[in-house]
Structure 1
Amino acid sequence: MARGRSSLNSGGKQKEELPKAKITRQTLSNISRLLSYLRPYRWKFIFAMLFLFLSSLVGLAFPSFIGALIDAAQGKSTGKFLPGSIQGIGILALAVLFSQAFISFFRILWFVQVAERSLADIRRDTYFKLITLPMNFFSNRRVGELNSRISADLSQIQDTLTTTLAEIIRQLVLLVGGIAFLAIISIKLTLSLLAVLPVLVVIAVFFGRFIRKISREAQDKLAESNTIVEETLQGIANVKAFVNESFEATRYGKNIGDVASIAIKGAKYRGIFASFIVFGMFGAIVSVVAYGCLLVSHHELTVGELFKFALYAAFVGSAMGSFPEMYANVQRAVGASERVLEILAEQSEKISIIESNNDIKQLIEGDLSFNNVNFHYPSRPEIEVLKGVSFEAKAGQRVAIVGPSGSGKSTTAALILQFYHPQSGTIFFDGKPADEYSLTDIRNQVAIVPQDVLLFGGTIRENIAYGRLKATEEEILAAAKRANAHQFVTSFPEGYDTVVGERGVKLSGGQRQRIAIARALLKNPSILILDEATSSLDSESERLVQEALEELMKNRTSVIIAHRLSTIREADKIIVLEKGAVIESGNHEELLGNEKGLYRYLSQLQFEV
């Protein structure tokens, strides 16, 4: 229940709760590595920045136009830089407005183009890096966490590049330019405004943060209450069986009460904040405007200049108020970039992939041997999974590996596929150490049919063709027929174009197994690994899958991992593992002859069952 609540909370607040990073010289150095992705688009980025600067400058001209129009309407001078008539000012203002619209269009278009294309490059490289990282990397991380790197973290960087960066520059221009224009209009009014406005902005920012914190607390509590509802309804049979309706209702009621209390507390502070805004901010504006009116009455300002001053003051106040939030966005982007860079800095597997053209450079005939292999998972160095394991499988032989759960059977399969590498000892292919082959060559010539087959969410044709992407239609059909899959596939209305659903949920276990066997047949490996391939099937499905497996195992080295000993009686050799060590080896009859052997004991247990 705690896990469900945690996941729900994190999902609900994912975007808001991205951690912030302190902006230091080191973090700026790190983020500059990501900014290198802008290099191919640098000229468009430079021109977008130039147009942004020009657009912001042009925006500063409009309060002057409005003030000039008011003064012109009263027959007063509008200044030496503007026309003296209302018509002239209006035409000039429209011309400037048109030029700003033209500049703004290209500024927005180029910013988005640069940001989207550079982010697409980062996403592509991050995804490629992820799928080429060793298995140990994934064993220490959750899929949701890695997915958030490509989604939430890169979206935060994207928002910063497309919006926040441009907004910071624009607000800087408005702040500096606005203060400059304020000083030109009236230094007295400017000093009075700058004495009050920054203090009010700082108080408003801190107050706003405090209120947002209370809002997040309310969201957390509400998420907890939603989790209680979800868990209770999912497990309603258990609730009723244990007569815990009252307990669950009390638990939910307490949680909802906490939500209400926090919300009321937030409303109280929001009320104080609203009162502060009404009295403090608007009071300050009224005071400055009143002082301005006093200057107008003394003929130190015109009405147009006072109006112009009020507009520039709004520009300055808005810019000051926006900086804390923009700085927080930059901090989040820096934190997100550091997490993405952590992935990009990881050491990839040494694979050679060229546009999915997995040509084999070193052929493997099928000889496989383990020589005194010792292995522990890097994340659990204190647990020795394999201890001095040695065995040999000649090309074309069927070698079965049996033993209790946790004895190291599936680990052996992972080592054959080179998902991990032994800490000591050597794995040989055709008498050569595995290190002398590229990972691509080994994995192109080793196939696995697991107990729990994972199909991708596309069509049956696409899933079979995953074994060899360039396979022809005839080769796909031939593989399906040999795997006993063609008959059930053609019974579907859409045949090979049937969509299997996420993880293949629309197919039964036996159908998924036969699709996996067809995929392996299409790959035509030298070495085949069957990892409990029939253990979870009913009798009829097992018969069909077993026939397909017999076809798959013809003329190739097969390593069969099995709990059901009845499926391995015909194996050329059976390796018995216990606690990571080989304790017996031989064929079915030889091992049954060992009265004190583990294989005989397991066989007797299964026979009795």
Structure 2
Amino acid sequence: MSSPTPAKGSPRSLSGLAPFLRPYRLQIALAGLFLVMAAVTTLLFPVALGGLIDNGLVPADRGQQMLALRHHFFELFGVAVALGLFSAARFYTVSWLGERITADLRNAVYGHVLRQSPQFFETTQTGEVLSRLTADTTLVQTVVGSSLSMGLRNAVMGVGALVMLVWTNPYVMAQVLLILVLVVVPSMVFGRRVRKLSRASQDRVADASAIAAEVLNAIPVVQSYTAESRESARFSASTQDAFRTAVRRTKARAVLVAFIIIATSAALLWGLYAGTQAVLRGDITAGHLGQTVVYVIILASAFAVLGEVYGDLLRAAGATERLMELLHARSAIESPAAPAALPAPAAGSAAAFEAVRFHYPSRPATPALADFSLAVAPGETVALVGESGAGKSTVFQLLLRYYDPQAGRIALDGTDLPSVALADLRSRIALVPQEPVIFSASALENIRYGRPGASDEEVRAAARAAHADGFLAALPEGYDTFLGERGVRLSGGQRQRIAIARAMLKNAPLLLLDEATSALDAESERMVQAALESAMQGRTTLVIAHRLATVQQADRIVVLEHGRIVEQGTHAELVARGGVYAKLAALQFTA
């Protein structure tokens, strides 16, 4: 039988952290031991205080009284030392657990998100993911590393103080206990509203983070359209919305805390009043009353802290839910359980599309490819041309298995793509995208991204082949120069050549060039085109090009329209045919 699903935002949602807690059972046991010892030591304090009042302050011989007082004060100091040591040990162990578990959780979520297919990012904003990795994990850390420990400690002390009070004053404390039950029930009911508002508040913060991430990644465009004020206003509106939701949450939580403190204090003051009446009647001693007073204070403060901790648990429960949603998201594209091995290609990989039909999940009514069939022989260079939206980039995305087609078959070297491990498949393919990606690292590490184990000389050889060595050597620190976030210190053509060098270093049997020379000036384009032609030798190459001058020497040109192949052949054949390609060529070459 499956266990019931925790209610949204309830503390039971924290059970999702169990797999991250399990490896640290020893540390958790130690933290629990120190926590219980600290709580027990606190509960011993009133007993020592009662002994001091009853035995150290009774009329007696002056010398004996001084000895008795000294003995009782030493007892109290011993309790204080034990409390300090156990509390310090508890604090260190619990804080270590909080930091360790949060780091593990953050790593697990990030690693899982990296393995999601592009379909996941069609519906999930990057800023939303970053908010969960930062703000939500920080909330979890606060609970695991602090609030939960405080809550458990105060729960132990509260229960212990209640037991002592019931044991010493059973009739009075039975009445107090009944009143406390009447306090807890409405507190739990009101806590549901706090839970909902906590989740809503975290969602609004994530919305603001998503806006900020999107805009900061497009600063040049924002500034070119002088949209700084508009974007500031949009972000301000989002943060204001988050603020209003947070205020509602805080107001509800403040009312909850106030109710718990006032109601429990009233109940416990009633018990204290009854205790003073018992002293006046001679039923108990003054020391007994002093002991009772301290236990009442411990119980009241424990309930007050538990009210605060409960609010933190509700917020952390919402954060845990959001993190678990990411962690339990299943990628639409996964490696098979028993992957087939790809044969070693002799001269480049062979790729085949058979009657492929595909539409993007976000556009189910519009086919990106329809009845698409294409066979690419090993070592062949095939160019894909056509208007924007014709399906050229979709061919690349299906080959890389970012998506699976709704119908048809795609194979690499005779092996169906779904039967191949994703790592094995993608290791056979090198991609040069239209918009090159430069990481916040040195030029050396950016090129080495294509093959992490490559030596410095191999990296430099790839840079020379891509005609990138000249400008890289001229940088202030040469290949070790930090290129800035997204390569802001380089021109578009320089970024493109680094991307080409990265792909050449990978040395894969299938090369995918998506407008690989689009950002180059005429001179650089000639140099890189020569380098690419050299790199194409001995491997299969698929080229996407809008500028037909770059693909005239391709073995075959495939013309796409609305996801279908309408023509294919060499440049000369297609021009002579006078079809779609001939019209495109006439427009470009005449211009």
**TM-score tier after normalising by the smaller chain length:** 0.7 to 0.9
Return closer, same or farther for 1:331/1:206 CA change in 2, 3 Å cut-off. closer
Amino acid at match of 2:431: I
State yes or no: 1:600 paired with 2:582.
yes
Q: Secondary structure at the match of 1:93?
A: helix
Q: For residues 286 and 377 of structure 1, do their structure 2 counterparts lie closer, same or farther at Cα, with a shift above 3 Å needed?
A: closer
Report whether the alignment pairs 1:350 with 2:335. yes
Cα distance, 1:410 vs. partner?
0.4
Written as runs of structure 1 = structure 2, the 5 A alignment for 1:315-394 is 315-345=298-328, 346-347=330-331, 349-350=334-335, 362-363=344-345, 365-366=347-348, 367-394=350-377
Q: Secondary structure of the residue that 1:493 maps to in structure 2? A: coil
* Deviation for aligned residue 1:534: 2.5
Q: Distance in 1 between matches of 2:119 and 2:300?
A: 53
Structure 1 residue 210 displacement after superposition: 9.0
> Relative to 1, partners in 2 of residues 1:191 and 1:36: Cα closer, same or farther, differing over 3 Å?
same
- Structure 1 length-normalised TM: 0.76
Q: Distance in 2 between matches of 1:111 and 1:279?
A: 30
| 2:133 counterpart of 1:145 | no
Q: Which of residues 442, 454, 472 is equivalent to 1:459?
A: 442
Q: 1:322 deviation in Å?
A: 3.4
CA contact (8 A) 2:372 2:564 kept: yes
1:109 is displaced (CA, Å) by 3.2
The equivalent of 2:467 in structure 1 is 484
Shift in Å at residue 273 of structure 1?
11
The 2-side partners of 1:115 and 1:437 are apart by 40
Q: Which runs of 5+ in 1 are unaligned?
A: 1-18, 78-82, 353-358
Map residues 49-448 of structure 1 onto 2, 5 A cutoff. Answer: 49-75=32-58, 85-187=68-170, 190=173, 292-345=275-328, 346-347=330-331, 349-350=334-335, 362-363=344-345, 365-366=347-348, 367-435=350-418, 437-448=420-431
The reply on whether 1:584 has 2:567 as its aligned counterpart is yes
The amino acid that maps onto 2:292 is: F
The question of whether the paired residues in 2 share the 8 Å contact of 1:483 and 1:517 is answered with yes
Separation in 1 of the partners of 2:525 and 2:41? 76
Contact kept? 2:347, 2:538, Cα under 8 Å: no
C-alpha deviation, 1:44, in angstroms: 3.0
Shift of 1:604: 2.8
> 2:261·2:304 contact (CA, 8 Å) conserved in 1?
no
- Aligned pair in 2 of structure 1 residues 274, 453: CA closer, same or farther (>3 Å)? closer
CA contact (8 A) 1:362 1:437 kept: no
Contact 1:70/1:304, CA 8 A, preserved across alignment: yes
- Contact 1:364–1:526 (CA<8 Å) still a contact in 2? no
1:21 aligns with 2:9: yes
Read off the aligned partner of 1:43 and give its amino acid letter: L
Instruction: Give the aligned residue type for 1:438.
Output: A
2:86 maps to amino acid? I
Separation of aligned partners in 2, 1:337 and 1:294: 49
Q: TM-score, normalised by structure 2?
A: 0.78
- Give unpaired runs (5+ residues) of structure 2: 1-6, 61-65, 216-221
| Among candidates 544, 548, 551, match of residue 561 of structure 1 | 544
Tell me the amino acid that sits aligned with residue 314 of structure 1.
I
Q: Which amino acid in 2 is paired with 1:471?
A: A
CA contact (8 A) 1:460 1:497 kept: yes
The one-letter amino acid of 2:347's match is E
AA matched with 1:590:
E
* Residue 555 (structure 2) aligns with: 572
Aligned-pair identity (%): 37
> Helix, strand or coil for the counterpart of 1:61?
helix
What SS is found at the alignment partner of 1:471?
A: coil
* Alpha carbons of structure 1 residues 288 and 37: separation in structure 2 relative to 1, 3 Å: closer
SS of match in other structure, 2:577: coil
Q: How far apart, in 2, do the equivalents of 1:311 and 1:501 lie? A: 61
2:512 to 514, 520, 529: 529
Q: Tell whether the 8 Å contact from 1:457 to 1:501 is kept in structure 2 after alignment.
A: yes
Tell me the CA shift for residue 435 of structure 1. 4.6
**Could you give the per-residue CA deviations for residues 535-578 of structure 1, whole angstroms, max 9, x where no partner exists?**
24444544444344334333322211111122222222111100
Q: CA deviation at 1:429?
A: 2.8
Aligned partners of 1:72 and 1:84 also within 8 Å: no
Does the CA contact (< 8 Å) of 2:568 and 2:574 recur in 1?
yes
Asked if 1:515 is matched to 2:488, the reply is: no
What is residue 356 of structure 1 aligned with on the other side?
none
Change (3 A) 1:178 1:508: same
Q: Is the 8 A contact 1:363 1:441 kept in 2?
A: no
User: CA 1:580–1:214 in structure 2 vs 1: closer, same or farther (change >3 Å)?
Assistant: closer
Structure 2 residue aligned with 1:470? 453
Q: Following the alignment from structure 2 to structure 1, what is the Cα–Cα distance between the partners of residues 69 and 42?
A: 20
Per-residue Cα deviation, 1:239-269 (whole angstroms, up to 9, x for no partner): 999xx9xxx9xxx99x99xx99x999x99x9
Q: Measure, in 2, the Cα distance between the counterparts of 1:433 and 1:180.
A: 69
In the aligned structure 2, how far is the partner of 1:155 from the partner of 1:297?
53
Kindly tell me: are residues 360 and 133 of structure 1, through their superposed partners in 2, closer, same or farther at Cα, counting changes over 3 Å? same
TM-superposed CA distance for 1:395, in Å, is 2.7
SS at match of 2:9: coil
CA apart distance, 1:526 = 1.2
1:40 aligns to what?
23
Q: Counterparts of 1:274 and 1:573 in 2: how far apart (Å)?
A: 74
8 Å contact from structure 1 (residues 361, 441) kept in 2: no
1:478-531 CA-partner distances (Å, limit 9, x unpaired):
111111111111111111111112222221111111111111111112111111
Q: Which amino acid aligns with 2:421?
A: S
In the alignment, is the contact (CA less than 8 A) between 1:371 and 1:390 conserved in 2?
Answer: yes
Query: Is the contact between residue 257 and residue 304 of structure 2 (CA under 8 Å) also seen in structure 1?
Result: no
| 2:487 is equivalent to residue 499 of structure 1 | no
In the aligned structure 2, how far is the partner of 1:440 from the partner of 1:278? 58
Q: Report if the CA contact (8 A) 2:98-2:146 is conserved.
A: no
Cα separation, 1, equivalents of 2:158 and 2:566:
79
Q: In angstroms, what is the RMSD of aligned CA positions?
A: 4.5
Deviation at 1:290, TM superposition (A): 5.7
* 8 Å Cα contact 1:461-1:496 kept in structure 2: yes
Cα distance change of structure 1 residues 423 and 22 upon mapping to structure 2, 3 Å threshold: same
Q: Once the two structures are superposed, what CA deviation does each residue of 1:367-424 show, in whole Å capped at 9, x if it has no partner?
A: 3232222212234332211111122333333211011111101000111222222222
2:511 is paired with a residue of what secondary structure? strand
Structure 1 residues 375, 210: closer, same or farther in 2, change over 3 A?
Answer: closer
The answer to whether the 8 Å contact 1:201/1:321 transfers is no
Give the Å deviation of 1:238. 7.0
Q: Tell me the CA shift for residue 169 of structure 1.
A: 2.2
Q: List per-residue Cα deviations over 1:298-333 (Å, max 9, x = no partner).
A: 444444443333322222122223334434444444
Alpha-carbon distance in 2 for matches of 1:197, 1:301: 24
Amino acid of the residue matched to residue 481 of structure 2? T
Conserved? CA contact 1:63–1:312, under 8 Å: yes
Contact 1:447 1:525 in 2 (8 A): yes
